[in-house]
């Protein structure tokens, strides 16, 4: 089993103590977002967890607790962009704080286990293509030697973020402009020893050295674990997504980063309400089990071949 922690919220930033407690207890609960009364109990034994994929914009609260995960294999998807607080409201200063945190994490666990994400890329009157290229250049310069890969994507519009993007004045580039823009990013990264992959993008960028990326990456997981993984494509993701199947353990409307483009938060009121129910000792993230809930044992197993 591959644990995704998490596409729905920033567990390393806000819920690292809860996650470590769940590792120690050996299980956690996840509420089904499509059927909220259905709650799965997930076994977290190292015997069934092949790898943990952390998604975060600030792993600082978890860094000193990583030794407590010594029985597990893991890597980080670390988002670091050029946006200011008008776009990513609650994140610390990038140059003064976040870049040093990225470098520290890389020193501790190895540069192959820290994937830099510069995404989603949104074009506005302030965040023009030239702005992004300048920011990308500066961050890539600072991360040279601290990561081997960068993942990029262009913002997708959903009902949950449509209004915010409209208020921001977001606009799209034509395909030729996107290709030229991405090619310049690839050159910047390559000059600093990094490859670039695209996340869930239909556009073909391989002639510019940008491959279709798998964020939950079978090849990388096999390198980290030291054994083969038997897993299919994640059917819960978009068609252009190359990720293999995983078990998502986060919850919507629980991330406090405050990003204006977020699709995982429906409203700030819901975030406040859910975060108010956070209990570091609860098996359920930001919630409580009620009499109406049906808790069942979710069937999980190692995906390792001859593990």
Summary count for the chain: helices (H), strands (E): 9, 11
Q: What is the per-residue pLDDT for 203?
A: 87
**Token digits of residue 22:** 């769940």
Consecutive H or E run containing 198: strand 195-198
In a domain, 304, yes or no: no
With a pLDDT cut of 70, the percent of the chain lying above it is 99
What's the mean pLDDT in 204-213? 89
In a domain, 201, yes or no: yes
Whether the pLDDT of residue 287 is over 70: the answer is yes
- How far is it, in rounded angstroms, from Cα 186 to Cα 85? 26
- How far is it, in rounded angstroms, from Cα 35 to Cα 206? 39
Q: What is the per-residue pLDDT for 162?
A: 79
Asked if omega into 120 is within 30° of 0 (cis), the reply is yes
Q: Which domain range does residue 263 map to? A: 2-296
**Token digits of residue 10:** 């920033």
- Sheet holding 27-31: strands in order across? 27-31, 38-43, 294-297
Q: What is the per-residue pLDDT for 263?
A: 86
What's the mean pLDDT in 235-254? 90
In a domain, 306, yes or no: no
What's the mean pLDDT in 211-226? 94
Q: At what angle do helices 99-109 and 129-143 cross, to 10 degrees?
A: 40
pLDDT in tens, 56-85: 999 999 999 999 999 999 999 999 999 999
Q: How many domains does the chain have?
A: 1
Q: Please give the DSSP secondary-structure letter assigned to residue 164.
A: H
Neighbours of 88 (CB within 10 A): 21
Residue from 231, 252, 191, 181 nearest 31 by CA:
252
Q: What is the per-residue pLDDT for 155?
A: 83
Whether the pLDDT of residue 182 is over 90: the answer is yes
Q: What is the per-residue pLDDT for 289?
A: 93
Could you tell me which residue, 63 or 203, shows the higher pLDDT? 63
Please give the biggest Cα pair distance in the chain: 58
With a pLDDT cut of 90, the percent of the chain lying above it is 82
Q: Please give the DSSP secondary-structure letter assigned to residue 259.
A: B
Cβ proximity of 254 and 88 under 8 Å: no
In a domain, 301, yes or no: no
In a domain, 164, yes or no: yes
Q: What is the per-residue pLDDT for 141?
A: 98
Q: What is the per-residue pLDDT for 25?
A: 97
Q: What is the per-residue pLDDT for 104?
A: 98
pLDDT bucket at 13, cuts 50 / 70 / 90: very high
Q: At what angle do helices 129-143 and 175-190 cross, to 10 degrees?
A: 20
Whether the pLDDT of residue 132 is over 90: the answer is yes
In a domain, 131, yes or no: yes
pLDDT bucket at 139, cuts 50 / 70 / 90: very high
In a domain, 10, yes or no: yes
In a domain, 202, yes or no: yes
Whether the pLDDT of residue 160 is over 80: the answer is no
* Residues in contact with 207: Cβ distance below 8 Å, sequence separation at least 6, in sequence order: none
Cβ proximity of 44 and 28 under 8 Å: yes
pLDDT in tens, 39-62: 999 999 999 999 999 999 999 999
What's the mean pLDDT in 208-216? 90
Across-strand partners of 54? 5, 76
Full-model pTM:
0.95
CA 100: distance to chain centroid? 19
Cβ proximity of 149 and 197 under 8 Å: yes
- How far is it, in rounded angstroms, from Cα 218 to Cα 272? 36
Q: b/e for 277-299, b at 16 or more Cβ within 10 A?
A: ebeeebbbbbbeeeeeeeeeebe
Q: What is the per-residue pLDDT for 168?
A: 85
- How far is it, in rounded angstroms, from Cα 186 to Cα 181? 9
Whether the pLDDT of residue 242 is over 90: the answer is no
CA 214: distance to chain centroid? 12
Q: What is the per-residue pLDDT for 204?
A: 86
Q: What is the mean pLDDT of the chain?
A: 94
Cβ proximity of 92 and 138 under 8 Å: no
pLDDT bucket at 166, cuts 50 / 70 / 90: confident
Residue from 229, 256, 257 nearest 244 by CA:
229
């Amino acid at each position: 089993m591959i644990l995704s922690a998490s596409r729905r919220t920033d567990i390393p930033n806000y819920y690292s103590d809860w996650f470590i407690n769940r590792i120690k207890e050996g299980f956690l609960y996840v509420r089904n977002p499509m059927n909220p009364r259905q709650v799965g109990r997930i076994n977290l034994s190292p015997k069934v967890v092949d790898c943990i994929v952390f998604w975060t914009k600030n792993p600082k609260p978890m860094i000193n607790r990583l030794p407590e995960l010594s029985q597990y294999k893991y890597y980080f998807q670390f988002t670091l962009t050029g946006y200011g607080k008008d776009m990513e409201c609650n994140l610390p200063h990038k140059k003064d704080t976040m870049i040093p945190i990225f470098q520290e994490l890389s020193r501790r666990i190895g540069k192959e286990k820290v994937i830099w994400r510069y995404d989603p890329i949104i074009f506005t009157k302030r965040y023009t293509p030239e702005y992004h290229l300048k920011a990308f250049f500066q961050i890539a310069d600072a991360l040279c030697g601290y990561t081997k890969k960068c993942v990029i994507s262009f913002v997708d519009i959903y009902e949950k973020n449509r209004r915010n993007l409209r208020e921001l004045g977001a606009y799209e580039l034509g395909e030729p402009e996107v290709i030229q823009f991405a090619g310049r990013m690839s050159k910047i990264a390559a000059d600093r020893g990094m490859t670039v992959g695209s996340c869930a993008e239909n556009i073909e960028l391989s002639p510019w050295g940008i491959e279709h990326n798998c964020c939950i990456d079978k090849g990388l997981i096999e390198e980290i674990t030291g054994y083969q993984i038997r897993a299919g494509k994640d059917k819960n993701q978009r068609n252009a997504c190359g990720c293999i199947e995983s078990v998502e353990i986060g919850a919507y409307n629980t991330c406090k980063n405050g990003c204006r483009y977020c699709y995982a938060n429906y409203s700030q009121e819901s975030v406040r309400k859910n975060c108010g129910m956070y209990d570091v000792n609860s098996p359920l993230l930001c919630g409580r089990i009620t009499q109406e809930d049906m808790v069942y044992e979710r069937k999980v197993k190692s995906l390792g071949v001859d593990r």
